[in-house]
Amino acid sequence: MRITAPLKPKHRRMVYVATLLLVIGVAVGLVLDAFSDNMQFFTSPSELVQNPPPPGRQLRLGGMVVSGSIQRDPQSLRVDFRLTDYAHEIAVTYTGALPDLFKEDSGAVVIGNLGTDGVFQAQTLMARHDENYMPPEVAAALQNKPAIKP
């Protein structure tokens, strides 16, 4: 039977440091994984049409509310409208109280998921704040489009 000598203090510290670094690395990896699962990146209607998400995946969709597309159900809080980035349009349905600034030809961002019928089911609706404000993601997506004033 072989008996091993205790570790020298220098080697013991190296084992502690290596263990600590391993634990910190695992913790950071788990935190980053949790963040990546919960992050919601902005998607334009063109991106949604070209690269549809997997069923049930929640995402943020932003664009301009198409003029003449807002249809309110008088019996409920349901609103149907279309969002555009001036290249593609996506039909959106939302049930709930509308922000005061929600109107046609203004910027909006909705959070929800794309239904199997191609209609975006929104759980949250956000409208721009004033005449000059536009969500940064919407402005960036529209900036590359010719003849558009973001």
User: With bands split at pLDDT 50, 70 and 90, how would you rate the model's confidence at 70?
Assistant: very high
Could you tell me which residues come within 8 angstroms of residue 121 by beta carbon, excluding any fewer than 6 positions away? 93, 112, 113, 114, 115
Nearest alpha-carbon partner for 59 in 99, 109, 103: 109
Dump pLDDT digits (tens) for 87-142: 999 999 999 998 888 888 888 999 999 988 889 999 999 886 555 556 666 677 76
Side chain identity at residue 123, one-letter code: Q
Please name every residue paired with 125 in a beta bridge, in sequence order, or none if there are none.
110
Checking if the pLDDT of 147 tops 70, the result is no
**Alpha-carbon span 51 to 150, nearest angstrom:** 24
Dump pLDDT digits (tens) for 26-68: 999 998 887 765 565 678 898 888 988 887 888 889 899 999 9
Nearest alpha-carbon partner for 104 in 120, 84, 119, 124: 84
- Which helix (H) or strand (E) segment is 79 a member of? strand 78-84
Buried b (16+ CB within 10 A) or exposed e, 84-108: bbbbebbbbbbeeeeeeebeeeebb
Checking if the pLDDT of 12 tops 50, the result is yes
